[in-house]
Structure 1
C-alpha cells in the first residue's frame, strides 16, 4: 500500500511538479538562510572581539608581526582540521557543488557542510584572502541537498534544492535575490526552466528576508544613487573592460598554476604555505586580509589614492591565488569584487584629466570594475550585471555595466582562452564539467515518472493455469524470478504465444522460446540520466525500479527500458 508521502515522492519525480517543489523551495531557502546567518554571526562576532576597536575586518590596525603570523596560524589550524576530519574531502565551495551536481545528482554530505562551515570561518577570521560567498553557496546547497536526502526525495528534486540553496547563499550575502537566482541558473545548474526557476526564486526571497531581519537591513556596500557623468566616458568604460578581462585572465591563470603545481603536496603543507604567502602580502598591503569589504567601501567613496590602488590590485590577486590555489576553503567572488573595485578606482581619475565638463564619481568606475572582473572570472555576465544593478538600485548603471562586463568576459575567454574560475578549479582536480541538452533533460526527470507499472512477477517454473491467471491481468511485461535472486524480463505476448502453441502442464519461463532481457536494479529516487548510465555501463538491457518503504520493506515499483528513456527525451 502506497502512503501519501510515497505518492508525493512519485509526483516529485515528474518534470512538472511545480507547486510541491515551490513549497519545498521556500522551506529550503529558509533553512539555508538560517545556516548562513549562523555562519556570519560566528565569523563577525569573533572578528569584533579580536580586532582593534571591535571593528569587523580591521586587520589594518594589527601590528605587522600579527598581520604576518595570523594567516600562518589559520593555515596550521586548517591543515590539522583537514588531516583529522576530511577523509579525503579537500575540494569545497562552488566548484564542489558543481561537481556533485554533474557526477552525483547533487548529493552533498553533512561532513562537507561542517568542513565548509568551520573551515571557511577559520580562513576568514585568520585573515586569509578569501570571500564568504563561496562558502555561503556551499552551505546553502548542502542544506538543500541534505533536506532532500532526509526526505528521500527523487534526485531530480534534490538537484533543484541544490539550486535553491545556491540562490539563497548569494541572496543572503549581498541582499541581491535576483542575482542569486541568475547565478544559480547560469553558473551552477546551467539551465533556465520554469520548473527550477520558480522554486529557486522563492528560496532566494526567503533567505534574503531572513538575512534582512537578522542584520536589520545592513547593506554590504555604502552606495549612493550613481550614474555616468557623460556618454564620452564610454571610451574609458571600454578601456576598463579590456583591463578587467586581462586581470581576470591573470587571476584565473595564477590560481590554475598554483593549484597544478601544489597537487602533490600534503594538505597541511599546502594550507601552511598559503598562510605564509598571505602573511607576506599582508606586510605590504594589510588591506588584502580577510574579505576586504571595508576597503571596497573606501574605494567606492574615492578615499584611496592611485598608487595604493595599483598595489591592492596586485597584492590581492597574489594573496587570493595563493589561498584558493593552495586549498583554503573560501570563496573567489569576494576577492574578484575587491580586485575589480581597485581596478575601477585606478581608471576613475582619467575622465577628469582628459574631458571637460561633469564626470562620474569614482564609485561608478569602482562598481563597474567589480561587475566586470566578477563576470569575466566566473564567465557569468548576466549574474554580474544583476549584482551591479541590485547593489545600486539604479537602472542607469545597466548600459555602461553591460559594456564593461561583456568586453571583459570576451577578453578573458576569447583573447586569453580562459574558462570559468570554477571549471578551472574542477579541471585542476581531474574533473571535467560538461553538459548538453539531452543530459539536462534526463537529469530533470525522475525514473519513476516514465516507469511501466504494467507487469506481473512470476517464478521461473509455474503451472499452465498460473500463467493464464497472470495473463488475465493484461500485463505488458513478465518479470521472472530466476536463480540466485536474479531477475529477467519477458514481453507478456511471448508467454501468451507459448501458451497457444504448447500444451505443457508445467512451464519454465527461462527455457521457452522467447525474448528475455537481463535486468539491473535502480532506486526510485534516480533520474533518467542515472538509468541511462546504468544501461550504457553494464550488460543490463532493462531496469527494475525498487523502493524501500518506512519499514525497510523492498518492493519493485516498475520497469524501465531504453526505449522508454528515449521516448521520455522526445516527450
Structure 2
C-alpha cells in the first residue's frame, strides 16, 4: 500500500495530491514551533528569579554575566567535533540544502537546532526563534517527503510549506508566511506551489491561535498616519533604516569571519562573554527583546534607553549569530528597526508636533523596513506590517519606507540579502539561476520516456520480434543486469528486418548497426536539474531512471536524454561542463 502511495506521488506533477501533505506539513511545523516556544518560555520562567519571560533584569550581576557564558559553553560542547555541514542550522541551512541538495534536510541538524536555540534564548543571548522555527518547519516538510520517498520537486514544495507554516505560527501572520517562503526561502514565485504553501501557512496559524490565542506576537501596534505631510519624513526614515540595515549586514559578516582559526566550540563562549558584559550594563538587551516593542507601544520607555538598546542590540545580535550561536537574527533585527523608527518618531513629534504620528506608528514602519532591507523581502515585510497592525491604511506609508530602505541597502550599498551573503562568506554552494529554478520544479518521473524495453545484450530473434510488437520507442541494453547502452527501437526493427532471411538464432545488440548512447543511472526521486547535472558530470548521452524495488535489484522506470530535458527549457546543447 505504501509503495502504491509513493508511486502515485513520484509519477505526478505538483497538484491536488500535495494539498493533504501540505496540511500535514503545516500541522507538524506548527507543533514544532509550539514546542520550541513552550520550552523557551518555561525554561526562562523556571530559571529567572522573576519567573517572567525575558525577565533577566531580576538576575544579580554575576547571573547576568555568567548565564550567557554558560549558555555559550553548553552550545560549544553540543556542536564540538562536528563538521561544517553538521553545524549549519537555521534559514541558512534550509537555503543551502535547497540549492545543493534539493531540499533534503537531515533530521540531526534539526534536533541540534532545537536544543541549541532553546539553550541560547533561555540563557539570555540576543537572538530570535523565527529563523530556527523556519528550519524546524522546513525539516518537517522534508522528513515527511523523505518518508514517502517523494521526488525532489515535491520535497521543495513541502519544505517551502513548512517554512511558511513556521512563520505563520511564530508571528500569527499567515499571509506573511506565504510570501516569506517564496521571497526568502525559495527566492522565486511559482504559481503551482502557492496553494500547498497557503494551506500549510493557514494550518500553522490556526494551530497557533488555538494554542496561544488570536493576538500576534507584538500587541497594540495599531496606529494611524496623521497627515500626508509626513510622507517626506517617512522617505527619510526609509533611507536611515537602509543605512542601519547595511551596518547590520556588514557587522554580521565581520563577526562571522572573526576568530575562524580558533576552535569552533570556543566561538560561542566568546559570544557569551560579550553578551554577559553588555547584559550587566543593560539587561533589557538580553533575550529576544520583544518586550521592548511592547514598551514602545505603551510609550513607557525613554528615548535615551531606546538609543542604547538599538546600538547594543544590533551589535549583539550580529555577534552572537556570527560567532556560532545556532539561533535567529530576524527577531532582534526587527527590534533594532522598531527602536530606530521610534527614535525618528520622537524627533518627528518635536519637529512637527501638529502633524507627526505616534512613536508606535514609526516603530512599525522601522521594524518592517528593517526586515525588508536585511532579507530583501519587501512583500513579506509589507504583509507582516499589515497583519501585525490590522490596519490597511498603513500600507501606503509602509511601501515608501520599505522601498527606500531596500534601495539604500541593495542598490546604493550593493548588499546581498542576509542569508545569501552568509552562504558566500562561509563558502557554501548557492545557485539560483532561471534554468536551475525551472528544472528543479519538474521531477524525472514526470519528464522521462516510459515506453521502453529492457533487453540483454544477446537476445533471440523471437524475443526481438515479440518485443517490437509492443512498439517501444527505446531499448535499454543490459549486460549481467547492468544497463550499458540505449538505442532507438527503430534500429532494432531495421536489423531484424534485414536479417530475417538469415539463419541466425541470436542477435547481439551491441554489434548490429545502430545509434547507441552511453548511459548512467539516476534515481527516480531526482529533479530535471539534477538529471542535467548528471549528464554533464558523467559525460553520458542518456540516463536510465531506476529505483531499488527489491534488495540488489533495480527496477528501470524510464529513460531521459539531453533532448528530453532541453524540451522543458532552452538549454545550450553543446554544454558539457
TM-score, normalised with respect to structure 1: 0.96
Q: After superposition, what is the alpha-carbon deviation per residue over 1:235-293, rounded to whole angstroms, capped at 9, x for unaligned?
A: 22122111111110010001111112333222211111111111122123221111010
Structure 1: distance between partners of 2:90 and 2:470: 53
- 1:240 matched to 2:237: yes
Tell me, what secondary structure is at the counterpart of 2:99?
A: helix
Is the contact made by 2:338 and 2:363 (CA closer than 8 Å) also made in structure 1? yes
Q: After superposition, what is the alpha-carbon deviation per residue over 1:444-487, rounded to whole angstroms, capped at 9, x for unaligned?
A: 11101111111111111122222222212211111111268342
Deviates more, 1:477-486 or 1:183-192: 477-486
Aligned to 1:530: 530
Counterparts of 1:186-265 in structure 2, within 5 Å, are 186-265=183-262
Aligned to 1:115: 112
Counterparts of 1:415-494 in structure 2, within 5 Å, are 415-482=412-479, 485-494=482-491
- 1:296 matched to 2:296: no
Q: After superposition, what is the alpha-carbon deviation per residue over 1:385-443, rounded to whole angstroms, capped at 9, x for unaligned?
A: 11111000001111111111111111011221111111111111112433122211111
Structure 2: distance between partners of 1:3 and 1:67: 55
Is the contact made by 1:86 and 1:111 (CA closer than 8 Å) also made in structure 2? no
Structure 2 unaligned spans of 5+: 572-577
Structure 2: distance between partners of 1:421 and 1:397: 26
Is the contact made by 1:482 and 1:488 (CA closer than 8 Å) also made in structure 2? no
Is the contact made by 1:127 and 1:289 (CA closer than 8 Å) also made in structure 2? yes
Aligned to 2:575: none
Deviates more, 1:386-395 or 1:78-87: 78-87
- Backbone CA RMSD of aligned residues: 1.9
Counterparts of 1:321-340 in structure 2, within 5 Å, are 321-340=318-337
Counterparts of 1:82-97 in structure 2, within 5 Å, are 82-83=79-80, 88-97=85-94
TM-score, normalised with respect to structure 2: 0.95
Aligned to 2:311: 314
Is the contact made by 1:160 and 1:196 (CA closer than 8 Å) also made in structure 2? yes
Structure 2: distance between partners of 1:391 and 1:442: 36
Tell me, what secondary structure is at the counterpart of 1:548?
A: strand
Tell me, what secondary structure is at the counterpart of 1:89?
A: helix
- Hey, which bits of structure 1, 4+ residues long, moved more than 3 A? 1-4, 84-88, 549-553
Aligned to 1:175: 172
Aligned to 1:5: 5
Aligned to 1:305: 302
Structure 1: distance between partners of 2:424 and 2:445: 33
- Aligned residue pair count: 568
- 1:395 matched to 2:392: yes
- 1:156 matched to 2:131: no
Aligned to 1:79: 76
Tell me, what secondary structure is at the counterpart of 1:83?
A: coil
Shift of 1:341: 0.8
Shift of 1:218: 4.1
Deviates more, 1:258-267 or 1:274-283: 258-267
Q: After superposition, what is the alpha-carbon deviation per residue over 1:319-375, rounded to whole angstroms, capped at 9, x for unaligned?
A: 111111111111111011110011011111222222252431110011111011111
Aligned to 2:52: 55
Structure 2: distance between partners of 1:435 and 1:219: 33
Structure 1 unaligned spans of 5+: none
Sort the Cα spacing of 1:539 and 1:88 in 2 relative to 1 into closer, same or farther, 3 A: closer
Structure 2: distance between partners of 1:2 and 1:510: 39
Out of 339, 343, 348, the position equivalent to 1:346 is 343
Structure 1: distance between partners of 2:54 and 2:210: 22
Shift of 1:566: 1.1
